[in-house]
Structure 1
Amino acid sequence: MRSYVTKMAGVTTLPPREEREAALAEAGYNVFNLDSENVFVDLLTDSGTGTMSDAQWAAMLEGDEAYAGSDSFDRLQAAVQDVMGFEQVVPTHQGRGAENVLYGTLVSEGDHVLNNTHFDTTRAHVAANGGVAVDCPVDSAESADEGNSFDGNFSVERAREHVDDVGADAVPVVVLTITNNSNAGQPVSVENTRAVREFADEIDATFVIDACRFAENAYFVREREGRSPSDGASDEAPSREPGYEDASIQAIAREQLGLADAVVMSGKKDGIANIGGFAAMRDPDLFEHCKQRAILYEGFPTYGGMAGRDLAALAVGLREAVELPYLEHRIGQVRELAGLLRDAEIPIVEPVGGHAVYVDAGAFFPAIPSTEFPGQALVCELYREGGVRAVELGSFAFPDTDRPEYVRLALPRRTYHREHIEHVAETVEAVFERRDEVSGYEIVDEPPIEELRHFSARLEPVAE
């Protein structure tokens, strides 16, 4: 069992309730607008908020800051080749930079992009290039033969129905997001990835994997793929038919990613870095086009908007992310929080995914309609009650998409301890006990890009 020794400590304090109330109102009841010093436990995102290892810090001291031909880029390229199996790498400042580079090259006006479930920035990049983002998630019935173990899967049946409506020529790109962040962080099976590969070949589309949490997904494949339908949603290791249980995380990751034509990666997730990302691809022509777009938006192709020291840290982080003991600890913390919430009878999405616990805010606040954003009401109450910052991933973040009313409690990597997890659970339980007293919210000011409104919109409580 892995544990960690603290070599550097930061201080977090819980502001008094009246200060939290004032800060929340000043932020327009949008926790993205809160100063971090006013947050006690920050579960807004696991993106770039984790704690780097001593090996990563040591690599940073050797960072090569050359504008062109940086040795740090060579180290990152080698790590991507070894861990993920892609030789052609275009570094970017973070994942959305990689989306801009790749989707800006592949997507044109009127194109339809199919995804198991688009996340916010992915959807926005498709729209910004004139495309239409189409979600093709499976429902529980479609994954029942796998014991609901891979609810993040891509529904090829839905995708084919959409292609029948619009024509194959209108679908140049098919995307598979692993794990499926917008669908409660649920994993995607290798079998489903093969099916998506075959579907992309049928319609002559480029198959892209959004690999932000590829290592966590490989952990679930190792644990679950091949289990019998009777295993259900238990978080415990099930009995199963032979599968990937004896394979290394790296081997599983390479097999799954090896089915794609290209990947987009935020190094701030399973790169365990505070900044950085990349796009990687197999086709030399696509690589050249992406490099030229990267020069325009990100920087020279051997630094891509990152300092050499950040390239070096990401190279080490990718290798650490596929270590089984690291993933056991990482996903173990998420399951620990889920267990505490389950014991308190909080409605959470199960089985639990890899990077977060998702609370079903619609079930939490059944009296608050989706038009009044029950998820955002829960986010505000968690901060008001215990200084916990979470994020809404429902009707506020994804307008006009008919998404479930989820609130994500995303755990940063190697950052918080048992007492923090207990505080979060106690905070959620305290809000649950007074849930009948909570009202919804309305938007009073929002930005012009609807797909990104949750980052900066301002709200007010609905007048009673």
Structure 2
Amino acid sequence: MRYRTKVAATVRLPDRDERETALEAAGYNVFALDADDVYVDLLTDSGTGAMSDEQWAALLRGDEAYAGSSSFRRFEEAVADVTGFERVVPTHQGRGAENVLYGVLADEGDVVLNNTHFDTTRAHVANQGADPVDVPVPVARDPDADEPFKGNLSLDRARSVVDDVGADRIPAVVLTITNNSAAGQPVSVENAREVRAFADEIDAAFVIDACRFAENAHFVVEREDGYEGASVAEVAREQLGLADALVMSGKKDGLVNAGGFVAVRDPDLFERVKQRAILYEGFPTYGGMAGRDLEAMAVGLREAVEDAYVRTRVEQVRELADLLEDAGLPVYRPVGGHAVYVDAAATFPSIDAERFPGQALVCELYREGGVRAVELGSFAFPETDRPELVRLALPRRTYHREHLRHVADAAADVLDRRESVPGYRVVSEPSRPELRHFSAALEPVDV
């Protein structure tokens, strides 16, 4: 699938002195940079993509009624058609969905298992007084292992946790697809079936974090035995259909700039979710979204499972990975569906984890080329055993080949002077460690 541009936005590359000044003023935390000071923005693929002409047309249909709008009905039908879930509550975005669902599932002293919790998921579980525990397959830690489903949940590790804490303390088992914090690696349908059986075994809810469900389904078609020739839509519906509940950020595979939802099967849980949504999000037929946003996501969910679209999306990510690898960066393989992950520890072997090699790489990419990426290692996830990864997430349907080449050129310039790159230390941070990378300030230190 190829696209024709209908609307164009101008971007400017600030000169090097401007970039140096902006980086220092931001406390060496790229979340604090002004977007106007960024040339190629790969901070996230969440809500940063371009909508289709059909989505823009759907905006004009928006019914802004407070309750029972026709826009909600079209959104509800799209969710049911694509995911198989008929009970859905919209939210303003994915973290709103997490707040609503985990707020009714998790309590003080509980343990929530996940193939790998992402930052806001971890924070929402912790906010309930529960303990978020990661149980990824061991191969997820190996950036060079050629395994097709490195995003899977380890049943052996999960059972070990059950043995330690008891099944009665585990209200939910979560599969994040694709596994964002494990380099965007996919999860097999077979693993989802195993997790379904395990959740039944310990009487826990099986939740799928479905942010990138369509990209995950594409990898199933590519890599999993028995799914050759299947469509993305068929695989997505089968895999999602194994869960008791979904949390979804529509800003990823909903192809919109705002919105999310919780979908559940159990009518009693549905009522509890709706009541919490009224408190934190809005009435259950709009849930923090305008009617026009509901319309756009209804179209976007259907577009997201079109085979040609997902194939084009994944191919662009692979192209960026190849360019970065040609430039000399150690890329996590196989490449995931939404981002390229770089091994920052291997990039800067002289910078130890306490000096945040990933943040060093993030700062240098901006310094060299105005490129904004994000660290997902020891800075973003303190006191967890995570590899030192930097994520370069591609917004959907947004950048072109010349942008990818610019990123690779900036990476090559960083590597040319890697011996002079400093490490960093934190000089101020918020009280909640799960979220410190959003607002902490740092300063460079010699290594």
* TM-score of Structure 1 vs Structure 2, range by shorter chain: over 0.9
Q: Determine if the alignment matches structure 1 residue 442 to structure 2 residue 441.
A: no
Q: Could you tell me how far apart the structure 2 residues matched to 1:432 and 1:244 are? A: 41
Alignment of 1:47-196 (within 5 A): 47-140=46-139, 148-196=147-195
1:113, CA displacement in angstroms? 0.2
Q: Which residue of 1 aligns with 2:247?
A: 264
Q: Which residue of 1 aligns with 2:311?
A: 328
**1:383-402 C-alpha deviation (Å, 9 max, x unpaired):** 00000000000000000101
**1:271-308 C-alpha deviation (Å, 9 max, x unpaired):** 00000000000000000000000000000000000111
AA partner of residue 161 (structure 2):
H
Alignment of 1:306-317 (within 5 A): 306-317=289-300
Consecutive aligned runs of 4 or more in structure 1 exceeding 6 Å deviation: none
**1:81-100 C-alpha deviation (Å, 9 max, x unpaired):** 00010000010000000000
Alignment of 1:442-461 (within 5 A): 442-461=425-444
Q: Could you tell me how far apart the structure 1 residues matched to 2:89 and 2:422 are? A: 47
Q: Determine if the alignment matches structure 1 residue 365 to structure 2 residue 352.
A: no
Q: 2:362 aligns with which of 373, 379, 401?
A: 379
1:433, CA displacement in angstroms? 1.6
Q: Could you tell me how far apart the structure 2 residues matched to 1:47 and 1:296 are? A: 25
Alignment of 1:276-355 (within 5 A): 276-355=259-338
Across the aligned residues of Structure 1 and Structure 2, the Cα RMSD in angstroms comes to: 1.2
Q: 2:379 aligns with which of 371, 386, 396?
A: 396
**1:305-341 C-alpha deviation (Å, 9 max, x unpaired):** 0111001001100000000110111001000011112
Q: Could you tell me how far apart the structure 1 residues matched to 2:215 and 2:420 are? A: 38
1:344, CA displacement in angstroms? 2.5
Q: Could you tell me how far apart the structure 2 residues matched to 1:96 and 1:315 are? A: 19
Q: Which residue of 2 aligns with 1:238?
A: none
Q: Could you tell me how far apart the structure 2 residues matched to 1:200 and 1:163 are? A: 11
AA partner of residue 64 (structure 1):
D
Q: Could you tell me how far apart the structure 1 residues matched to 2:75 and 2:413 are? A: 45
AA partner of residue 343 (structure 2):
D
Q: Could you tell me how far apart the structure 2 residues matched to 1:360 and 1:212 are? A: 24
Q: 2:229 aligns with which of 217, 221, 246?
A: 246
1:263, CA displacement in angstroms? 0.4
Q: Could you tell me how far apart the structure 2 residues matched to 1:340 and 1:456 are? A: 31
1:140, CA displacement in angstroms? 2.2
AA partner of residue 419 (structure 1):
E
Structure 2: unaligned runs, 5 residues or longer:
none
Q: Which residue of 1 aligns with 2:413?
A: 430
1:345, CA displacement in angstroms? 2.9
Q: Determine if the alignment matches structure 1 residue 46 to structure 2 residue 29.
A: no
- Number of aligned pairs? 445
Q: Determine if the alignment matches structure 1 residue 416 to structure 2 residue 415.
A: no
Q: Could you tell me how far apart the structure 1 residues matched to 2:361 and 2:326 are? A: 19
AA partner of residue 97 (structure 1):
G
**Mapped contact 2:140–2:150 kept (Cα < 8 A):** no
**1:220-278 C-alpha deviation (Å, 9 max, x unpaired):** 0000002xxxxxxxxxxxxxxxx212111111001000100000000000000000000
AA partner of residue 380 (structure 1):
C
What is the DSSP-based 3-state SS (H/G/I as helix, E as strand, rest coil) of the residue aligned with 1:67? Answer: coil
AA partner of residue 197 (structure 2):
E
**Mapped contact 2:328–2:415 kept (Cα < 8 A):** no
Q: Could you tell me how far apart the structure 2 residues matched to 1:87 and 1:39 are? A: 41
1:141, CA displacement in angstroms? 9.1
**1:388-420 C-alpha deviation (Å, 9 max, x unpaired):** 000000000000101000000000000000000
What is the DSSP-based 3-state SS (H/G/I as helix, E as strand, rest coil) of the residue aligned with 1:140? Answer: helix
Q: Could you tell me how far apart the structure 2 residues matched to 1:376 and 1:315 are? A: 37
Q: Could you tell me how far apart the structure 1 residues matched to 2:419 and 2:72 are? A: 54
Q: Which residue of 2 aligns with 1:235?
A: none
AA partner of residue 248 (structure 1):
S
What is the DSSP-based 3-state SS (H/G/I as helix, E as strand, rest coil) of the residue aligned with 2:380? Answer: coil
What is the DSSP-based 3-state SS (H/G/I as helix, E as strand, rest coil) of the residue aligned with 1:114? Answer: strand
How has the CA–CA distance of structure 1 residues 64 and 23 changed in structure 2, closer, same or farther, with 3 Å as cutoff? same
**Mapped contact 2:141–2:387 kept (Cα < 8 A):** no
**Structure 1 vs Structure 2: percent identity of aligned residues?**
72
Q: Could you tell me how far apart the structure 1 residues matched to 2:432 and 2:302 are? A: 37
AA partner of residue 352 (structure 2):
P
1:139, CA displacement in angstroms? 1.7
1:142, CA displacement in angstroms? 11
AA partner of residue 350 (structure 2):
A
Q: Could you tell me how far apart the structure 2 residues matched to 1:463 and 1:431 are? A: 17
Q: Could you tell me how far apart the structure 2 residues matched to 1:27 and 1:419 are? A: 27
1:147, CA displacement in angstroms? 5.5
How has the CA–CA distance of structure 1 residues 438 and 54 changed in structure 2, closer, same or farther, with 3 Å as cutoff? same
What is the DSSP-based 3-state SS (H/G/I as helix, E as strand, rest coil) of the residue aligned with 2:139? Answer: coil
**Mapped contact 2:172–2:207 kept (Cα < 8 A):** yes
Q: Could you tell me how far apart the structure 2 residues matched to 1:141 and 1:185 are? A: 10
**Mapped contact 2:146–2:333 kept (Cα < 8 A):** no
How has the CA–CA distance of structure 1 residues 142 and 431 changed in structure 2, closer, same or farther, with 3 Å as cutoff? closer
Q: 1:407 aligns with which of 390, 396, 399?
A: 390
What is the DSSP-based 3-state SS (H/G/I as helix, E as strand, rest coil) of the residue aligned with 1:358? Answer: strand
